[in-house]
């Protein structure tokens, strides 16, 4: 048996997957409808919407199975997310990668597998729509086209989850998404006794950019600011646009570099952008920083309020 390889972008892929906040959620008709349709369309006993987590594959919808997850090491979907194309095993017993796989030798006795990767907007492979049979079989060109169409519908349903938590203009988390992700990050930091800080940003004189240069230019400034956040802060940090010209970042594990130093580096990045762009205005910001004390168990909303107040004291 061959274990699935790990994608090169695994860290980013897992971050995207978990940002959807869909793992371990109850079954939903919109996904179950797709697996029932796939099962009926291809006359197979099993159809799944499978999401590949760090050590497991978890089924958002499973038609024909009673289990909700299996180990990633023995998963077929772990192999399927390594490529853009449909991953097909016509007969598992004739494929040395799977012939001695526990899912082949024992229930559900997989002999045929086809998995179409489910992609996120940035190209990350989150999981698959897959169909499984206990008999060997093949898919013709018409079957493959129909299967891809169903997988695209599953992708759209996953996107709908994310779009509710993503800011459409800047493509970073909106307030709802930031609170979800930041709370998840805080919980991990508290569990591991890891330092964390919350920074609240507000753009200075942003209204004058809109009034003088127009709202389209204001949008450009917001996008530039969020892009510099993405480029300056680490993948493990949580960034978000809370609304209007307000942004926030949760910095985790700040024991190795003071928060003030990180913010200074971010300010240098913005200043460099201003000089290079020569737009007739400058992007600048005021910030409020809260060092988080896990023992006080303060809510994220309260922390944001504290950081907002500290930012206001510095506001230009």
What letter does residue 26 receive in the DSSP assignment? Answer: P
- Least Cα distance to 173 among 7, 21, 305 occurs for 21
The structural domains of the chain, ordered by start, are: 10-163 (3.30.450.40), 175-314 (3.30.70.270)
Residues of the chain with pLDDT under 70: 162, 255-256, 316
Q: Are 310 and 200 in contact (CB under 8 A)?
A: yes
pLDDT score of 297: 77
- The 10s digit of each residue's pLDDT in 122-140 is 889 999 999 999 999 999 9
What is the gyration radius of the CA atoms in the chain, in angstroms?
23
pLDDT score of 221: 97
Dihedral sign for Cα 203, 209, 210, 211, please.
positive
Which SS3 state, helix, strand or coil, does residue 170 take? Answer: coil
- The 10s digit of each residue's pLDDT in 165-190 is 788 899 888 998 888 778 877 887 88
What letter does residue 47 receive in the DSSP assignment? Answer: E
């Amino acid at each position: 048996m061959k274990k699935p390889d790990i994608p090169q972008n695994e860290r980013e892929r897992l971050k995207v997957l978990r940002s959807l906040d869909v793992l371990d959620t109850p079954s939903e008709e919109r996904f179950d409808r797709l697996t029932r349709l796939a099962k009926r369309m291809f006359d197979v006993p099993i159809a799944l919407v499978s999401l590949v987590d760090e050590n497991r594959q978890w089924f958002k919808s499973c038609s024909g199975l009673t289990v909700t997850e299996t180990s990633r090491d023995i998963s077929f979907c772990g192999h399927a997310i390594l490529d853009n194309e449909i991953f097909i095993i016509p007969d598992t017993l004739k494929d040395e990668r799977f012939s001695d796989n526990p899912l082949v030798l024992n229930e559900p006795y997989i002999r045929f597998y086809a998995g179409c990767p489910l992609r996120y907007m940035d190209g990350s492979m989150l999981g698959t729509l897959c169909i499984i049979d206990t008999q060997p079989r093949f898919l013709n060109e018409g079957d493959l086209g129909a299967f891809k169409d169903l997988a695209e519908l599953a992708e759209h349903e996953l996107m709908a989850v994310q779009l509710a938590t993503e800011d459409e203009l800047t493509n970073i988390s909106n307030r709802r998404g930031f609170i979800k992700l930041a709370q998840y990050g805080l919980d991990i930091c508290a569990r591991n006794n890891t330092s964390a800080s919350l920074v609240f940003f507000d753009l200075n004189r942003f209204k004058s950019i809109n009034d003088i240069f127009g709202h389209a230019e204001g949008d450009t400034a917001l996008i530039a600011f969020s892009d510099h956040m993405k480029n300056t802060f680490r993948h493990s940090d949580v960034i978000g646009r809370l609304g209007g010209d307000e942004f926030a970042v949760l910095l985790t594990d700040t024991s190795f570099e003071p928060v003030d130093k990180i913010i200074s580096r971010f300010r240098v990045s913005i200043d460099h952008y201003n000089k290079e762009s020569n737009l007739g205005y400058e992007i600048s910001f005021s910030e409020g920083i809260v060092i988080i004390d896990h023992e006080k168990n303060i809510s994220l909303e309260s922390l944001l309020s504290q950081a907002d107040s500290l930012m206001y004291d510095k506001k230009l």
